[in-house]
A and B are shown apart, each in its own frame.
Chain A
């Protein structure tokens, strides 16, 4: 599309010392830009000047500046054509005509068709599982489809099974979130009352049994919600999965499909996975192969770690570390019970006869508080602080919050914790994660 307002140039930029670059986009093209990663990186601001555009399904307001921090990788897509201004110096910025957005939109249209049918026939809406290897844009596709669904008035549910890069809660958890409005362009979906389960590690491989168990837990709770909430039922759910598609990871995907009784599986850019799922899932499950976007960037290990750290910081300090003010207080060891889920695996030859290794994976192992607890993220389980008898339910109980141990004093048997809420802790059963967080900023 032809662009208007060509006269707008960098001179109009307020004296922030930032370079302004203007991009005129034709219809069905997207502007991709990346902000430099690292501490010293300059933030980049985005402003829509004319036309209409969206970022991952969320529409941009005209003449509003959106700020993107270090490490952001953004694609501004337009269906009709638009012109935007970038302030600051992005690492890369280019316009691409080659986007699979139309395919994604068609996918959404098909899902919407299903929701309409569900609404008409008083049935449940589509349950979609998005699978694919790492770095193909699974989370982005989920966000896109959810945003589109919300924009046409649905109330879908995001089920986040990616324990490494959770979009809802801190890493090391699986969660479900009811989506009621499109994602914020900068912050993503607003997280209100998510259902979070403790997993404790960033890869499902550390305890695949627990992972499958939590998947089943989420599926059950979601089904219960669907039974009493018509809107949620019609809206269906979109399940984001991990990028582990081989061996046990693949089995976990099949298990998830079965637990959630998914109707549609979206396979992103992995034909072999597509063929395997076609073979292993019953015929009434629609398996769809979709391409990944050319804009997807492979993230390094460090990048993933930083993203995890950022997610935890966001939990305590709010988006960009400005909106929340966490509390720091001391907790006596005697007041809390700390557990780890899953005993370390023992060689089979060391096990008592007749005992199988599986028994250990869901076991609660009490952790003696010590100096090595420092910087670990702990989940506060919502299990009632009952006696030993209540221990059974802890694994399947959701999490009410997280705390980080900042200092351990073994002499006085006290640890200092960072907590989003003032003392006292709502519950006293804590589950330890492998994930550590240092409050450096």
Chain B
């Protein structure tokens, strides 16, 4: 499973890295608009005559970079909050616990839409806002997992030994506890990237994510919905790549989980 998932992801990553070879994703050619897939344009062209292969591969770069960035940032924030909550306990744990409950009580996508909507209305749309909005809701899963891990690890002998020789609390947290919780967190992060790709694509489809002319899978998918009967390739290929990448990350995550 690890190899299958990893293989799919690796293929998509290699293709995305090769995107510049496919040409400029913004190059307009109105004489070739809405051309079906052909040897010249393997994925066809869109309503401005732009090569869909180039747009999908460049879109992959954007979607994957943003998804991985969001997952890493969410992991950092979630781990820190969860570790502090679990290790110090008491009032800190209660307060963080209630905050987590609040976040968990609202569907993630609804919160994302609200966040992006509010910030974009005030500051305009930017990739940074999308990243911020998704990280804002995405850290909770990591925090819960980390808290549980810390609660179990802090009673273990190596932590008690570290305390006995006079190690500081932050030192113990960062040097002994967090590294020992890394395994399950990596599995969660791998599974989470797939969800984040879906979230970004959903926001892009709703027009709330990364904005044109930067190509992004969800946004390309949306731009093709008016042409679904006359030029289905505009929506098909970004949809296929979203499905494949989510599938790849999920298989990889499941595989890592099974092996751990």
Chain A bound to chain B: no
> A residues touching B (Cβ–Cβ < 8 Å)?
none
